Amino acid sequence: MSPCLTLNQVFKLAENIKIKMNAALAKLIAGLIPILILLVLLFSLEACRGNKSNSTSGGKTKVGWLARLFGKGKQNANSESVHYTSREVEKVIKTARSYRGTPHRDGGMNRMGIDCSALIMISFESAGLKIPRNSGLQSQIGKPIDKNSLRPGDLVFFSDRKVGKGITHVGLVTEVDKKGEIKFIHTSSRLGVTENLLSSDYFAKTYAKAVRPF
pLDDT digits (tens, 9 = 90+) for 24-73: 666 776 677 777 777 767 766 665 554 444 443 343 444 444 444 444 44
Instruction: Determine which one of 4, 83, 104, 116 is catalytic.
Output: 116
> In this model, does residue 19 exceed pLDDT 70?
no
Separation between Cα atoms, residue 165 and residue 155, nearest integer Å? 19
Mean pLDDT of the chain: 80
Q: Is 83 tagged catalytic?
A: no
> Would the pTM count as exceeding 0.95?
no
CB contact at 8 A, 163 and 157: no
Instruction: Let me know if 4 is a catalytic residue.
Output: no
Residue 10 carries which side chain, given as an amino acid letter?
V
State whether residue 1 is helix, strand or coil.
coil
> Rounded to an integer, what distance in angstroms lies between the CA atom of residue 159 and that of residue 144?
16
To the query of whether residue 48 is one of the catalytic residues in this protein, the response is no
- DSSP label at residue 64: P
Mean pLDDT, residues 174-186: 96
- CA–CA distances in Å: residue 122 to residues 41, 110, 131, 170, 171: 43, 9, 9, 13, 13
In sequence order, which residues have a C-beta less than 8 Å from that of residue 159 and are 6 or more positions away? 166, 167, 168, 169, 206, 208
